A and B are shown apart, each in its own frame.
Chain A
């Protein structure tokens, strides 16, 4: 393993009875990068992350985290890793501060409490509130703080902004970028395309327990589909527009049209210059739609 690799998995295989969750996952995450781990529900994202922390044991394969084998030396690995689970559950009869102090105790009181208070302030979290009175989003903030507070070398984050409002999502992105600037490596799973776009240096797509693609996120976005609703000042002939490469006409009604654009929108914009456009509305697809389009493309390729 190179000195600059932080996570390496090779041939990672994990089954739950007859269900094969991972079927040979190969991953390399380099030091200092923000790595997005994408895939539909049940693809194996959480299982992979939990294998990295020795919470579950794979049937086969090699794992190295920060140069260590998590099964041989789990405590040494966890001492250097901050983890945010996808399904965050906290003891409800304690305050947020008590929960964080307990986690800090488990880390040998490594966290600087001024930093914890600063994180709570930035995330607008009242530490004295009992966990049972916190909303899902506020519980998520407790989860984010406990992952970050000891300034770990590696952050494993399973859906880090789940349940947070857009403003708080932006704040979490800032915190993660700052953690990276301070030397941390970040490995996160996500369903949110804007999150991937905002954070990731590199991504991997997992599907049915296998990594199907490792790429630059811009490459993923370039595959992305956009739906564009156009309102014209008068009824128009849409045939030239529909003939534009990458543009598919989905619906038309008098002076309205809905088209789907694959890849960059430059062609559409240039084609629309010839039309009397009064309004334009674009909609980005969900990551699921993107996966679907990606997989359909893959399947079509395989069938050929």
Chain B
């Protein structure tokens, strides 16, 4: 199992480095921007001048909260990161096994003495490790230089919002993985999960503007996402619920993979009637 884990992690190496550098630099920029934002003359008046609908749509309900470390973290990092890092995990999870199957590589791997359970677990663990590594770089990029700024948070306080972010990412990753076994291709699974994630993000913004969406939004995962506000303490029930949902989806994905005929040449696949040319 370790051999496959090591191999899967090595395959993700390029993406780990790329995403870590990009998001690490963005985090560093945002850390040092904090003091500049505070020092801008009349920033409070400027923010007050924004239409409340626009601020609500990007996740800021209290204009002045954006001036606090938690509000700043939320508005400039954590609100967006579900979607941004979501692109990474959805793409990687959707292709985790089905991508190899489509390229005809999985056939030979599974002809070796490795059980489907080991293969599934090794690759899922490698993907979780890769995601944690990217988040760790982001955390360090916020926490390490923060002493030179007016962001008055401990390293642990910086760490807390990354936990619900990880949970949300795992949830959408697990959904992409499950859909990859149910839909005709890994790409389609990634596209559908990505659309659901972005749709959920937009619905969150709209629900702040329209109370009638309140009931609908409660049924979506991002409603239970604390974002940067987790600096003040974790909402454990939300976190446990999100993790439980991620586990449930992963278990369902495992159920379908265990029973799956490993494809070569596309046998056993199906087509969406509306998209099929035949």
Contact = CB atoms under 8 A, between A and B. Distances in A.
A279 interface: no
B104 A83 contact: no
Given A87-B264, A89-B104, A91-B105, A55 B7 contact: no
Nearest to B110: A55
Interface in A113-134: none
B111 interface: yes
Contacts of A17: 268
Interface in B95-149: 103-105, 107-116
B233 interface: no
Q: Which size bracket describes the interface of A in this complex?
A: 20 to 34
Interface residues of B, number: 25
Contacts of B3: 102, 105-106
Given A90-B105, A105-B7, A83 B113 contact: no
B7 A102 contact: yes
Given A53-B111, A75-B115, A103-B112, A89 B4 contact: no
Nearest to A17: B268
Contact of B265 (A19, A75, A87): A87
B267 interface: yes
Contacts of B109: 106
B39 interface: no
A166 interface: no
Residue of A55, A85, A108, A143 with highest tally of chain B CB at under 10 A: A55
B262 interface: yes
A85 B114 contact: no
A81 interface: yes
Nearest to B263: A56
Most buried by A among B7, B108, B265: B108
A236 interface: no
Contacts of A83: 108, 111
A183 interface: no
Contacts of A105: 3-4, 6-7
B261 interface: yes
B113 A85 contact: no
B146 to A, nearest CB: 38
Interface string B243-272: 000000000000000010110110110000
A90 B104 CA distance: 8
A243 interface: no
11 contacts: A16-B268, A55-B110, A57-B259, A74-B115, A74-B116, A78-B113, A85-B108, A85-B111, A88-B108, A89-B103, A90-B108
The 7 A-B residue pairs with the shortest CB-CB distance in the complex, in nearest-first order:
A89-B104, A105-B3, A79-B113, A106-B112, A83-B111, A56-B261, A55-B262
Interface of A: 16-17, 19, 21, 46, 50, 53, 55-57, 74-76, 78-79, 81, 83, 85, 87-91, 102-103, 105-108, 143, 146
Interface of B: 3-4, 6-7, 11, 103-105, 107-116, 259, 261-262, 264-265, 267-268
